Amino acid sequence: MTDQTKELIDKLQVKPGVKVKLKDGDARGERLFRDEPETRAETAALAEEINALQDRLYAERQRALLVILQGMDTSGKDGTVRDVFNATGSIGVFVHAFGRPSEMELAHDYLWRVHAVCPRRGTIGIFNRSHYEDVLVPKVHKLLSKSDIGKRYDQINDFERMLTENGTVVLKFMLHISRAEQAQRLQERLDDPRKRWKFNPGDLEDRKLWDEFEDAYETMLEKCSTTVAPWYVIPADRKWVRNGAIARIVKATLEEMDPQYPKPAWKPTDFSVV
């Protein structure tokens, strides 16, 4: 891992039990990267390196990587998948977007549908939203008691520790945008006919609850950033900063996992293809 990346991780990783103030936070990521063209080029190169590392992960077939993306509407969850993971593609990356739970999902504990789609060994799983919706939404809309939400933080930490102890590395990115940036992006969705399908009037209702959501995110970061599955707060007002930071962290994580091509039990020279 380069010193640059170490420094970046140190800046963005939430230390266990520490309260992050998102409102005062730097959603633009000032001074995180030198300049935009250089960072864009670096991200493209990192995406290729991630692809190469994924090939080794797949061949080794012992471990998995789970990338959790959370953030307010328009914070760029889909964009992150495209810009950081498209070089790898659907062959090794499985994306799951969690929407409103179905009847069958509601008939089970909230982790049931999440566990079901956790990545199998050899693959990278990406969650677009996740079980964290099951603490964020109940807190904002007061659907559960404080004590029940408190239990869920513990349940989630236990669940993620179980995953890590059984071979899955967990990376959690909270895409941090400012209220002003969200206004601009929502307006774009209204104005641009090709983006209009992404607009959901309900997003404006959630926008009214900006402070409540920010508060719920802060508590989630404080309670659920653990040493085995830390949260990263990613400045996401500028897409190239967001991509650059995530690409660096994903690449460094895979590099640290250091997946190995399995050694064949036979000698290639013992065979001749006729």
| Residue 135 makes contact with a second copy by CB under 8 A | no
Tokens of 237: 């007002």
Q: Kindly indicate which of the ranges 87-95, 157-165, 200-208, 223-231 contains the residues binding a second copy, using the contact rule CB under 8 A.
A: 157-165
Name the nearest CA neighbour of 81 among 44, 128, 122: 128
Nearer to a second copy, 112 or 210 (CB): 112
| Residue 8 makes contact with a second copy by CB under 8 A | no
Rule CB under 8 A: choose which of 2, 3, 99, 107 binds a second copy. Answer: 107
Tokens of 108: 């089970």
| Residue 151 makes contact with a second copy by CB under 8 A | yes
Q: In what order do the strands lie in the sheet with 93-97?
A: 93-97, 124-128, 64-71, 168-176, 231-235
Q: Kindly indicate which of the ranges 86-94, 154-162, 201-209, 219-227 contains the residues binding a second copy, using the contact rule CB under 8 A.
A: 154-162
- For 153, phi then psi, to 5°, come to -55, -45
Largest CA distance in the chain: 70
| Residue 162 makes contact with a second copy by CB under 8 A | yes
| Residue 121 makes contact with a second copy by CB under 8 A | yes
Interaction mask 51-80, a second copy, x per CB under 8 A: ----------x-------------------
Rule CB under 8 A: choose which of 29, 71, 122, 235 binds a second copy. Answer: 122
Number of Cβ atoms within 10 Å of the Cβ of 116: 10
The whole-angstrom separation of Cα 75 and Cα 236 is 6
| Residue 168 makes contact with a second copy by CB under 8 A | yes
Three-state secondary structure call for residue 115: helix
| CA 242, chain centre distance (Å) | 11
Instruction: Give the nearest distance from C-beta 84 to a second copy in angstroms.
Output: 24
Q: Kindly indicate which of the ranges 20-28, 103-111, 189-197, 227-235 contains the residues binding a second copy, using the contact rule CB under 8 A.
A: 103-111
Rule CB under 8 A: choose which of 104, 180, 265, 273 binds a second copy. Answer: 104
Number of Cβ atoms within 10 Å of the Cβ of 218: 19
Tokens of 105: 């999902």
Nearer to a second copy, 104 or 180 (CB): 104
Instruction: Give the nearest distance from C-beta 161 to a second copy in angstroms.
Output: 8
| CA 232, chain centre distance (Å) | 9
| Residue 146 makes contact with a second copy by CB under 8 A | no
Q: Which helix (H) or strand (E) holds 70?
A: strand 64-71
The DSSP secondary-structure symbol of 88 reads: T
Which residues of the chain form contacts with a second copy (CB under 8 A)?
A: 61, 104, 107-112, 115-116, 118, 120-122, 148, 151, 155, 158-159, 161-163, 165-168
